[in-house]
Amino acid sequence: MMKKLSRIEFVKKLETEGLKFSDLVLASEGDYAADDSDWNYKDVPHLHCVHDLAEAYPALIGDDLICSINMQSILGIWFPVALVNYQYAKHHQVYYTTLFFFALVIESKTEALAPIRTRVTTTYSIGAPKWLFWAIPIIKMLLRKNYDVLMSADIPMRDRRGELRKLGYNFHKKQDDYSFIETVDVSGTNISPPPGKSRIVECDYVAQLGTSSDVLVGDTGLLGFRLVRNGDEVAVFPRTCPHEGASVEKADCLSGAVRCPWHGRRLVAIAKFKWLQDAVITTSTHKVQVKGTALTFEYIGDLTQQHKAA
CATH fold label, 7-160: Alpha-D-Glucose-1,6-Bisphosphate; Chain A, domain 4 (3.30.530)
C-alpha to C-alpha distances, 206 to 211, 213, 219, 228, 287, nearest whole angstrom: 9, 10, 19, 12, 19
- The C-alpha angle 34, 40, 46, rounded to 5 degrees, equals 165
Q: Could you tell me the residue ranges of all domains in the chain?
A: 7-160, 191-309
User: In the chain, which ranges are continuous DSSP H helix?
Assistant: 7-15, 34-42, 46-50, 136-166, 205-208
pLDDT per residue rounded down to tens, the chain (310 residues): 789 999 999 999 999 999 999 999 999 999 999 999 999 999 999 998 998 888 889 999 999 999 999 988 877 888 899 999 999 999 999 999 998 899 999 999 999 999 999 999 999 999 999 999 999 999 999 999 999 999 999 999 999 999 999 999 999 998 889 999 999 999 999 999 999 999 999 999 999 999 899 999 999 999 999 999 999 999 999 999 999 999 999 999 988 999 999 999 999 999 999 999 999 999 999 999 999 999 999 999 875 444 555 5
124-151 tens-digit pLDDT:
999 999 999 999 999 999 999 999 999 9
Q: What is the pLDDT of residue 154?
A: 97
Which residues lie closer than 8 Å to 5 by C-beta, 6 or more apart? 13, 94
In contact, 198 and 178? CB cutoff 8 Å: no
Q: What is the pLDDT of residue 308?
A: 54
- Single-letter residue type at 69: I
Give the DSSP letter string of 160-191.
HHHHHHHTT-EEEESSSS--TGGGG--SS--E
Q: What is the pLDDT of residue 124?
A: 98
- CA 217 and chain centroid, separation: 24
CA 246, CA 123: separation in Å to the nearest integer?
Answer: 28
Identify the CATH number of the domain defined by range 191-309: 2.102.10
Q: What is the pLDDT of residue 304?
A: 46
CA 310, CA 306: separation in Å to the nearest integer?
Answer: 13
Q: What is the DSSP letter of 131?
A: G
